[in-house]
Each structure stands twice: as C-alpha cells, then as structure tokens.
C-alpha cells in the first residue's frame, strides 16, 4: 500500500501523482518504470517513473486517462492508497556525453522523458527538447523541460501553441540545421514509429522507450515481447529502451490491440 501525497491535473485527462515509495525513490534511475495495481480486482499496469525525491521518499507518476485501469488510478485522491506498487523495473537509460541529443516527447511521454533530459544535460550534452501534442492544453511540464534543455521546440497538431505540425517536423528541423548525435523518443507507439523512420533516413541513432502490455513486469510472462532486430525481446527486462531503428513498430502496434 502506497499513500498518495500529491495530485495535480495537467489537463482534464492528464494527472500527476506524487506517491510515497521510499525504497523506489532511493534506487530508481532515469528510464525505470513501476507496476501499479489499483484495487483487489485491478490489473497490473506499467508506468514509467517521471521523477523522484529520495529525501521525501516519493516518486512522481504522470497518468493519462485512456482505459479502465488508468481511470481507476486517476480517481484516487490525496490520502488514498495505491493497492500495489512495485519497482523500479527495467534497465536504466544509458547516459553518457554523446554531443547533441534531441529528446522527442509526445503527449504524456514528456513525463518519463524529463529525467532523461535532466540526466543527458548533466552528462554534458547539448539537449534540444521537442515536445509534441494535439493542442496547447496537452503540452505538459514545459517549464521543467526548459530548465534542463538548451532549446525547446513545441509542436501542436492544431497550431494552438508553438509551431503547427507534427513532432517529426520539429525533429527534422533540428537535424537539417545541425549535427545530432542521438535522438531519444518517448510517446505513443505510432509517434515513435514515425520519429524512428525520420531519424533512420538521416542516420541519427535513436532510442525509443516502449510501453507495451505487461502482467508481472519481471520477465515472467512475456506479454510485453517485441521484435527488435529480428529477435524477440522482453520490454520488461531487456528494455524498456531499444534501438528504435531495429524495433518492429507495426508488430508492436498490433500487439497493443491484443485485448481491444
């Protein structure tokens, strides 16, 4: 049981939770995720950790209401308890000084991108963050991203904020303008697919953080399997981050619909 100590609405559909989890707050690194279960009949769902405060003993999760389980979680209030929370899981992001790193975060994917932006900046990289969303109210954590980035480009589908266009257009603008050593992308699978196709064209090494269906999250079930470079890999223990150019995104998109 983990107590919710903070709740903030980024938008109607996107909620930020601060949850007591002292052990996870202490041991987690950028890129790690947790498995959350709400209620005795609840399912186990993975969420990437957005940030942590080891002193306070809390972690931050940013949840988008998309289905039954995220809906249940978003209904919890400060003072309520999350039935089960386990982690940190997965492999941490590989951080080093690459040079110029483009961080392309779509929608709620900006939340798990934030610790990577911070860590990349701290490692001495020039960090250019490209945030994409359908409209202005879905752009989240802009101030925090700005404080750790050398430059921020905002793209909205409807042009209600930043520039009008897709996130790929923002990324392409940077690639055409200067040498990019690494691209990191987190967001909806379809977005990561198109970012990956773009950066492949320009031969920019790219890492994608995949969010597949999981049950246990510890390698036990294989529900999260994806094809990477022609081989089956488990997102929970081999990932969640992979060389985006090797990921079979079409298969992943198909597998995400397994229970629809």
Partner 1 sequence: MSEHLKAERAQEWREILRKSMKNKDRTAIPRVKMPEVDPEVRSHTYDEVNLGLTEAMAVNESHRCLDCVDPTCITGCPVEINIPKFIKNIERGEILEAARTLKETSALPAVCGRVCPQERQCESQCFYTLKLKKEPVAIGHLERFAADYERMSGHLSVPATAPSNGIKIAVVGSGPAGLAFAGDMVKYGYDVTVFEALHELGGVLRYGIPEFRLPNEIVDVEIDGLRKMGVKFETNCIIGKTISQDDLKAEGYRAIFVGSGAGLPNFMNIPGENLNGIMSCNEYLTRVNLMQAADPESDTPVHMGKKVAVIGGGNTAMDAVRTARRLGAERAMIIYRRSEEEMPARIEEIKHAKEEGIEFYTLHNPLRYEGDEQGRVRRMELQRMELGEPDQSGRRRPIPIEGDTVWMEVDEVIVSVGVSPNPLIPQSFNGLEVTKWGTIVVNQETMQTADEMIYAGGDIVRGGATVILAMGDGRRAAKAMHQHLQQINS
Binding mask 6-45 for partner 1 (x = CB under 8 A): -----------------xx--x---------x-x-xxxx-
**Nearest Cα to Cα of residue 92 among 177, 187, 252, 207:** 207
Which element (helix H / strand E) includes 14? strand 14-20
Q: Does 169 bind partner 1 (CB under 8 A)?
A: no
Nearest approach, Cβ of 105 to partner 1 (angstroms)?
A: 25
Shortest gap between Cβ of 219 and partner 1 (angstroms)?
5
Instruction: Candidates 46-54, 56-64, 87-95, 168-176: pick the segment binding partner 1 (CB under 8 A).
Output: 87-95
Please report whether residue 237 would count as binding partner 1 according to CB under 8 A: yes
**Is position 233 an interface residue for partner 1 (rule: CB under 8 A)?**
no
Residue 177 binding partner 1, by CB under 8 A: no
Residue 258 found at the interface with partner 1 (CB under 8 A): yes
Q: How far is 18 from 235, CA to CA, in rounded Å?
A: 25
Residue 55 or 179: the one with the smaller Cβ distance to partner 1 is 55
Per the CB < 8 A criterion, the answer to whether 4 and 76 are in contact is: yes
State the chain's maximal CA–CA distance in angstroms.
53
The C-alpha atoms of residue 184 and residue 102 are separated, in whole angstroms, by 6
Residue 232 touches partner 1, criterion: CB under 8 A: yes
Of 6 and 39, the one with the shorter C-beta distance to partner 1 is 39
3 binds partner 1 (CB under 8 A): no
Q: Is the peptide bond before 240 cis (omega within 30 degrees of 0)?
A: yes
Per the CB < 8 A criterion, the answer to whether 180 and 127 are in contact is no
Q: In the block, which residue shows the tokens 């900046």?
A: 121
Can residue 57 be called a binding residue for partner 1 (CB under 8 A)? no
Residue with tokens 């860590």: 119
What does the alpha-carbon distance between residue 12 and residue 97 come to, in Å, rounded to a whole number?
Answer: 38
Binding site for partner 1 (CB under 8 A): 23-24, 27, 37, 39, 41-44, 68-69, 72, 83-89, 215-216, 218-223, 225-227, 231-232, 234, 237, 251, 254-255, 257-259
């Amino acid at each position: 049981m983990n107590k919710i100590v903070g709740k903030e609405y980024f938008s109607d559909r996107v909620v930020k939770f601060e949850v007591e989890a002292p052990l996870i707050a202490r041991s987690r690194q950028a890129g790690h995720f947790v498995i959350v279960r709400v209620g005795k009949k609840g399912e186990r769902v993975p969420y990437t950790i957005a940030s942590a405060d080891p002193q306070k003993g809390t972690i931050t999760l940013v949840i988008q209401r998309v289905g039954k389980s995220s809906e249940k979680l978003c209904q919890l209030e400060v003072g309520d308890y999350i039935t089960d929370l386990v982690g940190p899981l997965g492999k941490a992001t590989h951080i080093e000084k690459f040079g110029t790193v483009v961080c392309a975060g779509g929608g709620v994917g900006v939340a798990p991108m934030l610790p990577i932006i911070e860590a990349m900046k701290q490692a001495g990289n020039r960090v250019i963050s490209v945030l994409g969303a359908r409209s202005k109210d879905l752009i989240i954590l802009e101030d925090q991203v700005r404080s750790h980035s050398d430059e921020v480009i905002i793209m909205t589908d409807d042009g209600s904020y930043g520039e009008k266009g897709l996130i790929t257009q923002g990324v392409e603008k940077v690639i055409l303008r200067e040498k990019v050593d690494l691209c990191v992308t987190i967001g909806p699978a379809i977005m990561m697919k198109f970012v990956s196709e773009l950066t492949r064209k320009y031969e920019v090494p790219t890492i994608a953080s995949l969010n597949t269906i999981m049950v246990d999250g510890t390698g036990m079930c294989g529900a999260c399997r994806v094809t990477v470079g022609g081989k089956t890999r488990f997102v929970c223990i081999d990932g969640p981050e992979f060389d985006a150019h090797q990921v079979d995104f079409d298969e992943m998109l198909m597998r995400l619909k397994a229970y629809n």
